[in-house]
Chain A
Amino acid sequence: MAVPETFFNIFPTWIGVYGLAITMFSISFILFYKRVITHISNSIYNLDFSNIETKFKNVLTNGLFQKKVLQRTSFTKDRSGIGHVIIFISFLSYALSYILFIFADSINSNFSKVVLGTFLKNLYLSYLEILAILVFIALITALIRRWILIPNRLKFSLTKKPESIIIIVLIASLMLTHLLTESVNHLIKPETAYSFNFISEYLSKPFKSLNYDINSYILLHDLFWWIHLTIILSFAVYIPISKHLHLLVSPMSFFFGNTKSSGIIDTPLNLEEMETFGANNLRTFKPKQIMDFFACAVCGRCSEVCPTNLTDKELSPMHFINNLMQSSSKTEEDLNIGVIDNQVSKTEIWDCLNCGACVNECPVGIEHISPIIDMRRHLVMEKSEMPKTAESTLLSLEQGGHPWRGTTFTRSDWHKDLNVKTISDNPDAEYLLWVGCTGALVERNQKVIKSLVKILNSANVNFAILSNEETCTGDPAKRIGNEYLFQILANQNIQNFIKYDIKKIITHCPHCLNTIKNEYPALGFKAEVINYTELITKLIDQKDLIPTNETSKSVSYHDPCFLGRHNKIYEEPRDIVDSIPGMKRMEMCKNKDKALCCGAGGGHMWIEESNEKRVSHLRTDEFLETKSDTLAVACPFCLQMFEEGISAKSQSDKEVKDIAELLEESIEENK
């Protein structure tokens, strides 16, 4: 790559390069600062810089190594990730090359040759040329994909904005001008040694045939060179004003992103001193959330998998994030009014099921659930505004310590005639079995806990329960947005855990698992918390549990969001089913981390859906497609939702069973 000596004989190149670069980068920086940084710094919350090593690792894995971009990529189904990786790699490669080839060489034109050596330099240039061709292919496929083929996730008007064409044109012209510069360069200073630049050599032929004199070729070369430089620097200015902002902001999102379970919601410990509860404008959103609003690359992956979007509800994660981003361009006055009912509707806020499908898919690190919960906190804790059923659930939690208003059971009814000891009667128990509100107080779910208890007894597990001393983990309160009530309930439980010196907890319900394991530590409680499937697979492996009774049932297992996607427990429930003699297991079309929510998350066990299309029915249809007899679940909410779904579709020959129930049917009657 040859740097022109002057800008068409007017001034030395380096003045032009540095002058233009400084100007454009300054403009770009100012734009970026005004658009993004001011809002991040205006937030009343501070950035968290703890665990820097983990943070850097996250940027590396997802930023540099594009892990989330590629997580759905397969050569047969979804190749869009490959295209992005090509463009990403070429962006990095070219950017790197500019340091030497433009900025250094414009001061001393031999700099790069001296540093790299001719061999390496030409090799790199050849690499850049190959990349250019690959980028062209990627850009053409991108164009065809977004504007002609239009897959599901690009069907929105948001994804059809001219921005994407502008970016394609800019990148294409960058590649083009680079190739043109290099091809004309061959006619000025043909390389004798180490010439690998076959592509540009080939492209030089049409120029050669023009038969210009050398000065004309120099002019042409310089023209292409300066155009290329201008385009790069214009790009720098275009980044902060387009969705290409994700280039700068996505690494920030990954840096400050959550690397633990995606099911965790923050637990602010200083509620009493807080200026305001929850968030309703950019001042009250947290810095990481604000970064997320700007990081969106409008790819549509989140909305494609969002259960509420799939059932035509108002909430679509991509639009939601973009609307919040739009709030940044409002005046100070408007900002004080708040985003709720302006950029974002209450329906959208309450639609969310907290299933995490969006967070899981997002290639730029956006955590959509976090601002939704903060807005719920604003509505509930500042304004006391929420759906009626959410309100009565909170009242039930406040007065009775459980969300099941109207239940006629107490927490000791289900184990009246069973061989189960309370922790006060069995203080040396190895495990505390955390029953949960649903398992104790809802009749259908009591059957599941009874099955689990029988299984644990037959394997001689030394466990005990809290019975009437249990109170709700507080998860429904937290998800509905009443963080205060959550902490009161949680602290009650933690006090009991301390009182009984609890070290190991088995949970049945995945929501209880998530809360006690992942969120109670913020309140000072740490113990080994496992899901029952984790213990049972171990017991089966150790032959403490031997499923013997054969069955001819065919089964499909539904991954509960809070067990699977949020806490990455996929194999254990499947292993248990597979250990049952004769049981045939068939996967559903969307499984493991792609499983569709049953519809009861995010407080929706108690909040009405905002339209007639029920998420649970959608997932029930996906089960019915498998033609299995039994839908196996591992969550008390999923059990209720699917039993309703199956009965609504009049499929009386299908059944819904918890893994514990299926296993209990198979173990021999012991003791």
Chain B
Amino acid sequence: MNILSVIINENETFNLSSLEIFSFIDELKCENKITSIVFGGEKSVIAKIPCDEIVYVPLNSSVALNPNDVLFSIDKFMDNNLFDLIIFQKDDISNYVSPALSFRKKIPYLPDVKKIISKDNKSFKFVRPVHGESAEGIYSVDSTSPLIIKIRKSSFEPKQLNENEKPVNEIILNKNLEKSFKIIETKKIKPKGIQLDDADVVISGGRGVGSSEGFEKIKELANLLNGAVGASRAAVESEWIETSQLVGLTGKWINPALYFTFGISGASQHLAGCINSKNIVAVNTDPEASIFNHSKYGIIADCNEFIAEVIEEIKNIQ
């Protein structure tokens, strides 16, 4: 199979989680030739991507990347190269480009693939989550014609970079001057404190916290454990914490070593964003709360009372 993997690095640094694509490809267990088209990133790292051919599109980091340009570039690249399988992963640009590319090229598209069930000479069978990640579906697609896949974040382990560098083919970003829009301004809001994406420990609050005062305790515990603050939709909608800290289906997807929740019931839309955490500890007054079905440790208690005790204990230890 001729496989194209699409990797987008909007910031200058190479996005290591994109290496999950290659573990996915390995699991396909078939003869393949893998081409990677990489937008942005450090060339030296890109040269070590574990694939057969590497095409690099340098980006001007001072100009916002327009998804239409990425779409156009891949479209034109595919004019000269035929691929059986095109793989994206989850990021702002890919979320836009992958479905658009599918319709433009009339190639079927399946997003959020988390598992490969089977592949034979007639069809692929993939698993993807549905209904806010509360259920799963087995989807079958024709394996004899081209296909676009977007893999689900953290469902596959990131593969290791190669030891040695490979030669990299550079091409320029093909700008779509017709059917497009103009990005005038990009504003990144860097939330204060440790970022959710990098944190090893995340302390997360939900409906049970009850107030913005309650969230001060969440922040305090996060500080004590050198972690970041997360939140469920209920907490964000009640304006107890900024939207940037939302963990969930339409928020951040994280996998820290410790995900410590207070007053979160465990709705599937929230779990989607944190289910891949190594250890989930949940505090809730309701013993039937769904979060206990997915956590390693559970505490049945009022979350505001319990967090006070945890904070005190940690202060004693330290």
Contact = CB atoms under 8 A, between A and B. Distances in A.
A408 B234 contact: no
A406 B207 contact: yes
Interface string A377-414: 00000000000000000000000000000101000000
Contacts of A408: 265, 286, 288-290
Given A406-B234, A408-B265, A443 B286 contact: yes
A406 B234 CA distance: 10
B265 to A, nearest CB: 7
Interface residues of B, number: 9
Contacts of A647: 302
Nearest to B266: A408
Interface string A401-436: 000001010000000000000000000000000000
Nearest to A409: B288
Interface string B148-179: 00000000000000000000000000000000
A443 B234 CA distance: 20
Contact of A406 (B265, B285, B288, B290): B265
Contacts of B289: 408
Interface in B278-318: 285-286, 288-290, 302
Contacts of B302: 647
Interface string A633-665: 000000000000001000000000000000000
Interface residues of A, number: 4
Nearest to A406: B207
A443 B207 CA distance: 16
Nearest to B304: A647
A443 B288 CA distance: 10
Nearest to B265: A408
A443 B208 CA distance: 14
Contacts of B286: 408, 443
A406 B286 CA distance: 12
Interface string B223-236: 00000000000100
Interface in A428-479: 443
B291 to A, nearest CB: 11
B156 to A, nearest CB: 32
A490 to B, nearest CB: 30
Contacts of B207: 406
Interface in B40-80: none
Contacts of B265: 406, 408
Interface string A33-58: 00000000000000000000000000
A406 B290 CA distance: 12
Contacts of B234: 406
Nearest to A444: B285
A443 B285 CA distance: 10
Contacts of A406: 207, 234, 265
A486 B288 CA distance: 31
Contacts of B288: 408
Give the residue among A406, A408, A443, A647 with the most B Cβ atoms within 10 A. Answer: A408
Interface in B227-277: 234, 265
Nearest to B287: A443
Nearest to B290: A408
B180 to A, nearest CB: 39
A430 to B, nearest CB: 34
A408 B290 CA distance: 9
Interface string A253-296: 00000000000000000000000000000000000000000000
A647 B305 CA distance: 10
B298 to A, nearest CB: 15
A267 to B, nearest CB: 34
A408 B264 CA distance: 12
A406 B232 CA distance: 13
Interface string B193-218: 00000000000000100000000000
A301 B285 CA distance: 43
A588 B289 CA distance: 38
B261 to A, nearest CB: 16
Contacts of B290: 408
Contacts of A443: 285-286
Contacts of B285: 443
A47 to B, nearest CB: 46
B270 to A, nearest CB: 13
A20 B286 CA distance: 78
A646 to B, nearest CB: 13
Nearest to A647: B302
Interface string A525-553: 00000000000000000000000000000
A117 B78 CA distance: 122
B159 to A, nearest CB: 40
A145 to B, nearest CB: 44
A408 B268 CA distance: 13
A408 B234 CA distance: 15
A408 B289 CA distance: 8
A408 B285 CA distance: 13
B288 to A, nearest CB: 7
A406 B207 CA distance: 9
Interface string A115-150: 000000000000000000000000000000000000
Interface in A343-399: none
Nearest to A392: B237
A406 B267 CA distance: 10
B277 to A, nearest CB: 22
B264 to A, nearest CB: 12
Interface in B78-133: none
A443 B302 CA distance: 14
A408 B286 CA distance: 10
A403 B290 CA distance: 21
A115 B173 CA distance: 116
A647 B290 CA distance: 26
A25 B297 CA distance: 84
Nearest to B286: A443
Interface string B10-48: 000000000000000000000000000000000000000
Nearest to A413: B288
A306 B234 CA distance: 33
Nearest to B288: A408
A408 B265 CA distance: 9
B113 to A, nearest CB: 30
Nearest to B302: A647
A406 B265 CA distance: 9
Nearest to B285: A443
A526 to B, nearest CB: 39
Interface in A215-231: none
A408 B208 CA distance: 14
A116 to B, nearest CB: 75
A408 B266 CA distance: 11
A330 B111 CA distance: 64
Nearest to A443: B286
A253 to B, nearest CB: 43
A417 B265 CA distance: 24
B47 to A, nearest CB: 51
A406 B238 CA distance: 14
Nearest to A389: B238
Nearest to B305: A647
A539 B281 CA distance: 49
A119 B220 CA distance: 90
A3 B288 CA distance: 89
B9 to A, nearest CB: 40
A406 B210 CA distance: 14
A408 B134 CA distance: 14
B80 to A, nearest CB: 53
Closest 8 CB pairs of A and B: A443-B286, A406-B207, A408-B288, A408-B265, A408-B289, A408-B290, A408-B286, A406-B265
7 contacts: A406-B234, A408-B265, A408-B286, A408-B288, A408-B289, A443-B285, A647-B302
Given A406-B207, A408-B286, A443-B285, 8 more contacts: A406-B234, A406-B265, A408-B265, A408-B288, A408-B289, A408-B290, A443-B286, A647-B302
Interface of A: 406, 408, 443, 647
